[in-house]
Structure formats: structure tokens, C-alpha cells
Amino acid sequence: MSAASCWSLPVKPSSTSLALALTSAAWLLGAAPVHAAPPAASGPREIARVGDRGNHVLWLETDEGVVDIAVMATYPQRPLVAPLFLKKHTPAEVFLALAPARQELPAALARQSLFAVDFTAREQLQRENAAALAAMPSGFDSGAQSLTAGCSTSFRAWVGSEYGDATCGDPSQEVISTAHPSDTYCTSGCDFQLGVQDRATCEPKLRSCDIIKGTATVVRLRTTDWWNGVNFNHPGHSAHFAVANCSGNGPVTFNRARGASGTYTVQVPVNGMLHYKPGTPIVPANAANFVAYGSWKKGKTASGDTYVSNSMSVEANGGTDDRVIACGDIYTDYTLQDVSSPTCHGSDISLCSGGNCTSSCFYCSGGSCPTN
């Protein structure tokens, strides 16, 4: 690892002077279908919550106006939001998929959403999340995981499905590594839809052979059946953190922070899991939302100037039978590449570059873009 990254075991107790009071009460008290917490004087603020006891979703606004999502679940239940749906959509769209039909978006989420008053789109989001949840694995052993010291095979598999990555909970993984996951974007049959939104004046007419590939660089933490503390930090554009409490005599403390926004702290009980996504989304927003049709080239480059610190730690995990699974993914760049077949469009035709529709623009129409 470079000097910019750090991991150590055990972890030193961190200051909680800026900690957000997300204590075990969040797990023990049933949450209303939707509620907003009173604003805090500074630091991360809970602006909405959907769900019930031990299985709910929180939206938290930072001082910078960024909205992060925390998903809490209890073994062996499914979460309220599928990890694949969470990956594909903004915090505002996740809210619209989970909240009651006519529940208004909190102001911080309304700034992000294109669907605030579009009930058809809202229903579509709800159906998409329901389908993604139905596709998740089921049949996990419902026995008392906490009676056995350590992380059972069934619990580990459940954690991987909740996180959306089977390497989370896999004991064969390296504790710290660098990974390069990739996604594809096209009109049908890829990981994500290509050209879902067009923010420029040019409307691309995409062919089925138009394919964009996105590749991320991710600094990764994977600990399984872990005893004692964990500390993981690295600068980057965004992150995904999770802690699952396999066994022991009580909750563990999960701290996570991004930049200067303060520390989020929550008590994760035995059989519980929390995963949390702070920071500006990288995938699939750039390709899906800015693909009109060449703006996808922007990607999200490696840049120390625009990186923000990301950190997570686990404490109170030193009891005889205490064991956790802790996972982290910190994204440092995301590159996008046209991998369309050579015959999809001629070499003498350049891809439409968003608002610059006066140049050679293959199969685009609308706005100032010439018809080809």
C-alpha cells in the first residue's frame, strides 16, 4: 500500500466529538414509514428514514450538501433496497422507490431528482427495486448465528448478498488489495442502460452495437471472522463500507467518515449488518447520465487534488466470542471506453459530443444536431 493508505489492527479509539448519534436505539426502536430528524447544528444530519426495527434505510446530509445512504438489515432478512438497485440509482431515486406513494422528497433529495412529481417513473423505480430484491439469494439458515463463535457459512453468504459483492464475507480474500471491477453500458443486455438521460441538446439514436465499458480502480478491504479492531482509510472519489456482527456478547461500534463532514457512529448488534455509501457516485452516473453521446468520455480520473479522505473503523470487538465481517471499497478512478464493434459506426464519423452537435454526429437527431 502507498503512504496515502492506511490499515492497522487493532484500531486506536477515535474521537467522537463530532460523532453523529446513530446509536443502538436506531436498531431497537421501530422506525416510522418515513420521518425526518430535527436538523443538527453541524455535521451529518439524518433527513429521512424508511423501514422498521432492525431493517431500515437512512438518508444523511453532510455539511457540503451531499446525501449519503445507510442500509441496515438483520440476518437472515433481505434489506429494504437491493444492492444492485442502490448501485444504479441516486439517493433521491432510492427514496422514491421506498417511501409511500405521495411522500414528498426532502429538500436535499429534491435537488437531485428528475422524478419528484412523475408518479409513473416513481412506480417504475418501485417495481425495479422489487424485482432486484426478488432476484437476491434466499433460504439462509435462520438458526441462532450468535450461539456460535465466528461467522457461519450461511451468514457469510448473506453478508455478500447484502453488500452486493460475494467477495465480502469470503475468507479467501486478501485483507487489503486493489481491484478493477468493470461494467458495460448498451441499449439491451448490459449491466446498465446506455443513454438513459440526455442533459445536452443532442438526442442520440443508439444502435444495439453501441457499447461503453467502464472500469474502476478500487482499494479494497475484506476481513472475515475478524476479532478485535479494524481501521481502514484511503483518499478517493467515493466509498462503500460495511460491518456485519457475526457473534459475541453485544454490539460493535462502527465508525466511518468522509472528508471534514464528521464521523458517523452506529452500534451494530449481533446478527446485524450496516452498509454505507458516502461520497459522489461514480458508477453508473457518469456513463448513464452523461452519455449524450461522448460526454461519457469524462469518466472520473485519478486526481489527488479532488480526492477526499475516507475512513472506517470497528471497535468493541475484543470479547472472547466477538467476530465481525468488515468490508470497504474506495474508488479512486473510473474510466470509460467505447468498445462498440468496428462496423457499428464508420471510422470517419465521430461520436456525438453532448451539446457540441455541430460536429460529425452519427445517428443523432433533435436540438441543433443534424439528422444523419
Answer whether residue 1 is part of any domain. no
How deeply is 120 buried, as exposed, middle or buried, from its count of CB atoms within 10 A (0-12, 13-18, 19+)? exposed
Answer whether residue 371 is part of any domain. no
Answer whether residue 347 is part of any domain. yes
H/E element holding 255? strand 252-258
The separation between CA 136 and the C-alpha centre of its own chain, rounded to angstroms, equals: 17
Domain count, the chain: 1
**CB contact set of 172 (below 8 Å; sequence gap of 6+):** none
pLDDT attached to residue 245 = 98
Q: Phi then psi for 109, rounded to 5 degrees?
A: -85, -30
pLDDT attached to residue 356 = 42
- Rounded distance, CA 11 to CA 284, Å? 33
Cβ contact 255:243 at 8 Å: no
pLDDT attached to residue 146 = 52
Which structural domain range is residue 342 located in? 6-365
Answer whether residue 233 is part of any domain. yes
Cβ contact 254:311 at 8 Å: no
Cβ contact 287:322 at 8 Å: no
* The length of the chain, given as a count of residues: 372
Instruction: Tell me how far apart the 2 most distant CA atoms of the chain are, in Å.
Output: 70
> 0.75 exceeded by the pTM?
yes
Divide the 372 residues of the chain into consecutive groups of 10 and give the mean pLDDT of each group.
Answer: 41 31 28 42 80 92 88 96 91 91 86 64 92 93 67 96 98 97 86 61 65 89 97 94 96 93 90 88 46 48 80 97 97 82 58 44 43 42
pLDDT attached to residue 301 = 67
Answer whether residue 372 is part of any domain. no
Answer whether residue 42 is part of any domain. yes
Answer whether residue 370 is part of any domain. no
Answer whether residue 13 is part of any domain. yes
